Amino acid sequence: MSDPNDPFADFEPYEPPAKPERAKREKAPREPREPREPREPRAKKPRASREPGPKREKGAGRPSVMAGWPDEPLAPRPAEPSNGGDGGGDRRLLVILSSIAGLLVVAVVVVFAIYLTQQSQRQEPAADPVPTAPATQSIPQPSATPQPSESPSAPAATSGVAVTADGFTISDASGSTVFTHAWADDAAPAVAALTELFGAAPTEDFQNGDAENYAYRIYAWEGFRLYDVYLNESNRPRSEVPAPTFISYDSDIDVPVTDDFGVGLDMSADEVAALGPDSGQGGSFVFGSDRNTFYQDGQRRFGAAVTVEGSKVTVTYTFRAGR
């Protein structure tokens, strides 16, 4: 009885059908080959026999090497005169002798030239002695020729700088103002006027900017520096910069400078503190902090930052945000 749980219980095993047998092919019988005819053997050609010739005797028919050699040595052959192709040795000897003769001639010329130079130096006449005047005769002294006195240099056309809240001015020796610069002006005219004032071109430098400060070109003279803002495409226009230009000067300057706070470049820290700065102590002070109103009213009016380091006083007029 088949198992109801076995799904393959009712299937009969598969038996493949029997393959039919292939009929074997019968090979056709080959015809027998006819036997080859035997080859005739090659006949060998007889070689002609050589007849033995007469044997050669050693040394027969050739005279001996020493035959006819005289018992006494021969006289040496006389040297043949050299001609066209056989004079290589003589030519070399001639070249060597010519070179030696040339060197001797050069040496003689050099020695002779040295000798003549020494003789000419020895024969130069000595300087004639200066005749002395008799003791009783006084030697007249030539009168001194008056030398033209050097004219004093003309005073410089400009002689001082005055700094205020709005900019700075340059005045001449008479006190007349010859140049005025406002903080928003271009720097080129100021550079030209300051060059005339100091009598020399400035030394140029550069101050890098950062996230809070602009970059500046610096024009520096002895004790005086002019800063000109450097802007690129990512910066605001010059009209929106609070300090397009500003200045700094110190005790090394060789022209008089005045400011509107009365700071002297030879003052001590105590003397600067006595001027009543808005803030500061020690050697750092701030004057005019109420002038930094650019972002309120667009006015560029700068105060001054003063530092005293030993005997050196430095004053900087610039915009100070929030100070």
Give a yes or no: residue 32 inside a domain: no
Q: Are the C-beta atoms of residues 238 and 231 closer than 8 Å to each other? A: yes
> Taking the complete model, does pTM exceed 0.85, yes or no?
no
User: Using one digit for the tens of pLDDT, what is the confidence trace for 100-120?
Assistant: 998 999 988 888 888 888 877
Owning domain of residue 203: 160-318
- The overall average pLDDT reported for the chain is 79
For the chain, the domain total comes to 1
Give a yes or no: residue 62 inside a domain: no
Give a yes or no: residue 100 inside a domain: no
Give a yes or no: residue 28 inside a domain: no
pLDDT at 88: 63
Percent of the chain with pLDDT over 70: 70
Q: Cβ neighbours of residue 209 under 8 Å, at least 6 residues apart?
A: 215, 216, 230
pLDDT at 113: 85
Distance CA 269, CA 281 (A): 9
| Backbone φ and ψ of 321, nearest 5° | -65, 130
pLDDT at 148: 41
Give a yes or no: residue 78 inside a domain: no
User: Using one digit for the tens of pLDDT, what is the confidence trace for 148-185?
Assistant: 444 444 444 447 999 999 999 999 988 899 999 999 99
Q: Cα-Cα-Cα-Cα dihedral of 72, 76, 77, 79, to 10°?
A: 180
Structure tokens that stand for 323 in this block: 């100070």
Structure tokens that stand for 265 in this block: 């470049």
Q: Are the C-beta atoms of residues 194 and 170 closer than 8 Å to each other? A: yes
pLDDT at 140: 46
Instruction: Output the tens digit of pLDDT for each of the chain's 323 residues.
Output: 566 777 766 666 677 777 777 767 777 777 777 777 777 777 777 676 666 666 666 555 565 656 566 566 666 666 555 555 555 667 888 889 888 998 999 988 888 888 888 877 666 554 444 444 444 444 445 444 444 444 444 444 447 999 999 999 999 988 899 999 999 999 999 999 999 999 999 999 999 988 888 999 999 999 999 999 999 888 889 999 999 999 999 999 999 999 999 999 999 999 999 999 999 888 999 999 999 888 888 889 999 999 999 999 999 999 987 55
Distance CA 290, CA 301 (A): 9
pLDDT at 153: 46
Give a yes or no: residue 185 inside a domain: yes
pLDDT at 11: 66
pLDDT at 274: 94
Q: Are the C-beta atoms of residues 288 and 165 closer than 8 Å to each other? A: yes
Give a yes or no: residue 313 inside a domain: yes
